[in-house]
Structure 1
Amino acid sequence: MGPTRKGEPERPGAELFKPLRQVIESVNETFKGQLDLEQHHGRTPAGVVARIMQRVLTLTTAIWHNDQSGQPVLRSLTAYDH
């Protein structure tokens, strides 16, 4: 569902989807940027899924660890990027 055109009335439910769209785009940027999902190097569909799931699990673990240790930025993997 794209944005409404100039002069069109706002679509039903648009006030619910605007914040959700921002969250989705933010998560997508995190996946592409910090997890290098565009360079996954998987050779088979199963390999792609395995590599993506490894990275999602890594980010989830980092968020949990950062939350438990009181870090100010929860989604950052910078401290673990060696």
Structure 2
Amino acid sequence: QLIDERPGQTLIGDKNYFGREFEQQLAELDIRLLRPARKGEAERAGSQLFKPLRQVIESINETFKGQLDLERHRGRTPAGVAVRVLQRILALTAAIWHNDHTGQPIMRALTAYDH
């Protein structure tokens, strides 16, 4: 359904998303695969995007684990975990918005609100 509603999707994966049959299936579904080249493979299209993209992803993960304390979420059910994760993301989003609109020098810091 997702593919039908939004044709031409791009899937970003690590170098372990490979295989002639796998890539053929994706091509038949009109899904473009971006992944780093494996050893012995030629450079793949889009490879220049991976280093900066990885830095962004690692930064976001560190924010979630560090500032938002998501490794100790205390959710007992999948729904409980989802609620706790989403409420923390919403809190960070609100803090970024507030910091941006009040001219704060650091956008992503929640330190001022940690009481």
TM-score, normalised by the number of residues in structure 1: 0.88
Please tell me the residue identity of whatever aligns with 1:34. Answer: Q
Please tell me the residue identity of whatever aligns with 1:23. Answer: V
Match of 1:40 in 2: 73
1:65 aligns to 2:98 (yes or no): yes
1:13 aligns to 2:46 (yes or no): yes
Alignment partners' CA distance in 1, 2:63 and 2:42 = 33
How many aligned positions are there? Answer: 82
Q: Which runs of 5+ in 2 are unaligned?
A: 1-13, 16-35
CA deviation vs aligned residue, 1:24-70 (integer Å, no higher than 9, x gap)? 10011001000000000000000000000000000000000000000
Alignment partners' CA distance in 1, 2:58 and 2:44 = 20
Structure with larger RCO (C-alpha < 8 A, sep 6+): 1
Match of 1:75 in 2: 108
1:23 aligns to 2:37 (yes or no): no
Q: Which runs of 5+ in 1 are unaligned?
A: none
State, as a whole percentage, how many aligned pairs show the same letter.
73
Question: Max radius of gyration: which structure?
Answer: 2
Instruction: Indicate the structure with greater strand content.
Output: 2
Aligned alpha-carbon RMSD (Å): 1.7
Alignment partners' CA distance in 2, 1:73 and 1:9 = 41
Instruction: Indicate the structure with greater helix content.
Output: 1
Match of 1:49 in 2: 82
Alignment partners' CA distance in 2, 1:60 and 1:32 = 15
Please tell me the residue identity of whatever aligns with 1:17. Answer: F
